[in-house]
Amino acid sequence: MAIFKHLRVSGSVVAQGDGKLPAGDPDPPPAADGAHGPPVTGEPGSTKAWTWRGDFGASLVVVLIAVPLSLGIAVASGAPLVAGLISAVVGGIVGGLIGGSAVQVSGPAAGLTVIVAGLVQAYGWAATCAIVAAAGVLQLLLGLFRVARAALAVSPAVIHGMLAGVGVVIALSQLHIVLGGTPQSSALDNLIELPGQLIRNHTLTVATGLLTLAVLIAWPRLPTRARVIPAPLAAIAAGTGVAAVLGWDVARVDLPADPLGALVTPQWPDGSWTSIAGAVIAVALVASVESLLCAVAVDRLHDGRRVNLDRELAGQGAANLTAGLLGGLPVAGVIVRSTANAKAGARSRRSTVMHGVWVLALALAAAPAIELIPLGALAALLVAIGVQMVNLAHMRGVHQHGELPVYLLTMAGVVALGLFEGVLIGLGCALLLTIRRLASIHVRVTPELDGSVRVAVDGSLTFLSVPALTRALTAVPARAVVDLSLNIDFMDHAGVTAIDDWRTGYERAGGTVRIDEMLEQWYAPGKSGLPRPVRRTPPVRNRAAWHPLATTLSGRRQLEEGTEEYQSKVAPLVRPLLSELAHGQRPTQLFITCADSRLVPNMITSSGPGDLFTVRNVGNLVPRHGEADPNDSTIAAIEYALAVLPIRTITVCGHSACGAMDALLTPGSAGNMPYLSGWLRHGSHSLDRLSSRPDGPDRLDRLGRENVLQQLENLRTHPAVAAREAAGELELCGGYFDIAEGRLHILSPAAPVTV
């Protein structure tokens, strides 16, 4: 137990210096949040009492599911029936005490059935127990070294395909028992022998199995109150009750008279070290991956403490070590039991531990009742579980991600060849699919009206995609001006060489090549020998043609180059959005701001096309009601926005170093501009507002802020604005953009608030 002193949960040490777990609850509830949290006194209604009640009720529900499932998995694995109960007890108590999940329930898992059945056939049961114990030690070490999350790196398509293949194998083998026969050594043999099994007459066994299956199928369709009893328990009870009442002579569960005396002592298997090591690794990896995926999935079903995957892996290892030493099946997190535990109201690991205690009590005290269960009923339960493991929702999910071939090949490999071979096939297929995606590159060659050619390359440019790239580049017309745009997220040496060789050859033949890297620079550093790519800032690139240093370009040429850059780089990205907006606009924000060129509304608000209905004028002024010219475009825009558009917010945004505010502070500065002077009279109320405030530094900045608040007051003089605001249908907001800091402040009448 000393190794657990290194594992932590939620930032606190979960084991003390002596290596023992701390005393008290196995998973105490989180502390209440000050005065707003419930009391923690332990009295009725307290958090602790409420948690105990939820855990107790959930443990009773889970045990009703665990007992029949554990017996059925033991039958399917070719192990002694008591081995399933041992693992259910150990998974609950040991896994619950040490594991890192609040609600996951561990025990015999259907996903390990194929492996265990093969080990029992190859080495015998006692040797299989030793392999299980060794797998537990390996899991403990993996948990100690904190590599649990590495198990999540396996493709979900491989995992789901593996479980689906195991489900098919289980269903085919247990179907023979339902029909009164004996399973064959492989899934294909079971499939071949199935017609002959159907011909043979085993009426009573078949009737027991069909009755169990009928209850399992019909149970989810019953009213909610009837479904308080878990479907597996109801199905097994129905099959057992009918067989017992009618006195059917069918094979039944046979438990040892002394369960404790029937514990098996593990024996190290005879065989090569490589085969034994492979068996240990297979059990450890499959159990680990299944447990960790289950823990992640069940974590979404509750709002308590999140799972610690490394601790959970160590807990699974401790449970498997204990189960192997006691003669039990391998243990893993089981999604059926864990889901039932969470939905039944479990709040902590106490529920898992109590469920293990109840299984032990039933095994010791209710053995005669358990021995009434027909094997055909257990087999029917396993058939249903096997069919459910071929999950159509998982198939749809992997199909949406283009990984259905991986799923199907893994499933087929597990069924036809075995679990290990099937997983290898699935991993190989997933790797090939990944390589194919890495090799995929999209090259577009577009002739322009001026005779130039635009070539756009998107994707990852590696040695795998060089053939496709060179094939496309050879189709470029000779002796043209080529604009090569590289929208590349990665480029290796082969990609750099391919582009450089083509560029050199093309220019020697009389052509011109201009290379522009849109995202990160891979080609230029690769050609010059720089060690890593250089990231470019998109806003700088988008203004390249307009940069003040570009003094050699005329205004028209700046416009043309900017337009060309937009058409080649930005238009393809925004075209899908613009196509949706082509038939109309529905902005909810009216944004009134200054005409200053340094203020870009969409940039400072992180908005895009269709988001802002923008009105710009000198000084972001709003004429008061009754003072506006009948032809005033600002008031016309406000009128249109409120009458036609679904506007919910009007924002007035000013900025620092505003020329209009400076003109207000300097009388006569706009004397030779009569239209501007006439317009600025709408700012006189802002000057009055500033004069009523205490003096302070930087009058220009203070006037800019006061002007925003004054324009909001001016807006309220308009009846349409006032009525909508009073009805709660419109919100007025002020903003002030500090150009030097690049920061937008939200203003209130009391004080500015920095955002």
Q: What is the per-residue pLDDT across 104-127, written as a single tens digit (0 to 9) for each?
A: 999 998 888 889 988 999 999 999
Residue 237 has pLDDT above 80, yes or no: yes
Query: What is the spatial distance between Cα 162 and Cα 173, in angstroms, rounded to a whole number?
Result: 17
Q: Are residues 227 and 292 part of one domain?
A: yes
Q: What is the per-residue pLDDT across 644-659, written as a single tens digit (0 to 9) for each?
A: 999 999 999 999 999 9
Q: Are residues 111 and 168 part of one domain?
A: yes
Query: What is the spatial distance between Cα 518 and Cα 516, in angstroms, rounded to a whole number?
Result: 6
Q: Are residues 370 and 448 part of one domain?
A: no
Specify whether the CB–CB gap between 216 and 381 falls below 8 A. yes
Within a domain: 434: no
Q: Are residues 599 and 463 part of one domain?
A: no
Q: Which residue has the higher pLDDT, 694 or 672?
A: 672
pLDDT of residue 48: 59
183-192, 253-262, 410-419, 546-555: the lowest-pLDDT one? 546-555
pLDDT of residue 42: 39
Q: Are residues 661 and 571 part of one domain?
A: no
Q: Across the strands, what pairs with 484?
A: 455, 515
- Residue 282 pLDDT grade (very low, low, confident, very high; cuts 50, 70, 90): very high
- Residue 198 pLDDT grade (very low, low, confident, very high; cuts 50, 70, 90): confident
What interhelical angle do 350-365 and 47-77 show, nearest 10?
50
Residue at a domain's end among 392, 425, 458: 425
The side-by-side arrangement of strands in the sheet containing 481-491 is 441-447, 453-461, 481-491, 512-517
Q: Are residues 223 and 209 part of one domain?
A: yes
Tokens, residue 378: 């257990």
Residue 570 has pLDDT above 60, yes or no: yes
User: For the residues 682-698, what does the mean pLDDT come to?
Assistant: 85
pLDDT of residue 458: 87
Residue at a domain's end among 390, 425, 460: 425
Q: Are residues 512 and 553 part of one domain?
A: no
Residue 33 has pLDDT above 70, yes or no: no
Specify whether the CB–CB gap between 148 and 142 falls below 8 A. yes
- Residue 34 pLDDT grade (very low, low, confident, very high; cuts 50, 70, 90): very low
Binding site for Zn(2+): what residues are annotated? Answer: 594, 596, 655, 658
DSSP letter at 570 equals I
Q: Are residues 354 and 370 part of one domain?
A: yes
Q: What is the CATH number of the domain that holds 646?
A: 3.40.1050.10
Q: What is the per-residue pLDDT across 510-540, written as a single tens digit (0 to 9) for each?
A: 999 998 886 667 777 777 665 555 444 444 4
Q: Across the strands, what pairs with 735?
A: 653, 746
Q: Are residues 197 and 289 part of one domain?
A: yes
Q: Are residues 725 and 689 part of one domain?
A: yes
151-165, 514-528, 624-638: the lowest-pLDDT one? 514-528
- Residue 1 pLDDT grade (very low, low, confident, very high; cuts 50, 70, 90): very low
Over the chain, what is the mean pLDDT?
A: 83
For residue 513, give its domain range. 440-536
Query: What is the spatial distance between Cα 160 and Cα 294, in angstroms, rounded to a whole number?
Result: 12
Within a domain: 159: yes
Q: Are residues 656 and 526 part of one domain?
A: no
Q: Is 43 exposed, middle or buried (0-12, 13-18, 19+ CB in 10 A)?
A: exposed
Within a domain: 222: yes
Q: Are residues 325 and 196 part of one domain?
A: yes
Dihedral of CA 669/675/681/682: which sign?
negative
- Residue 214 pLDDT grade (very low, low, confident, very high; cuts 50, 70, 90): very high
Residue at a domain's end among 520, 536, 552: 536
Residue 31 has pLDDT above 60, yes or no: no
In the chain, pLDDT over 70 holds for what percent of residues? 86
CA neighbor of 92 nearest in space, from 316, 280, 418, 410? 316
Within a domain: 46: no
User: For the residues 307-334, what does the mean pLDDT come to?
Assistant: 93
pLDDT of residue 382: 81
Buried b or exposed e, range 100-110, using 16+ CB within 10 angstroms: bbbbbbbbbbb
Q: What is the per-residue pLDDT across 707-732, written as a single tens digit (0 to 9) for each?
A: 999 999 999 999 999 999 999 999 99
User: For the residues 163-174, what does the mean pLDDT come to?
Assistant: 85
pLDDT of residue 160: 86
Of the chain, the end-to-end C-alpha distance in Å amounts to 51
Domains contained in the chain, number: 4
Query: What is the spatial distance between Cα 48 and Cα 42, in angstroms, rounded to a whole number?
Result: 5
Q: What is the CATH number of the domain that holds 444?
A: 3.30.750.24
pLDDT of residue 10: 32
Query: What is the spatial distance between Cα 36 and Cα 143, in angstroms, rounded to a whole number?
Result: 37
Within a domain: 178: yes
- Residue 295 pLDDT grade (very low, low, confident, very high; cuts 50, 70, 90): confident
Q: Across the strands, what pairs with 617?
A: 594
Within a domain: 48: no
* Helix, strand counts (H, E) of the chain: 30, 16
pLDDT of residue 552: 55
Binding site: what residues are annotated? Answer: 594, 596, 655, 658
Within a domain: 38: no
Within a domain: 259: no
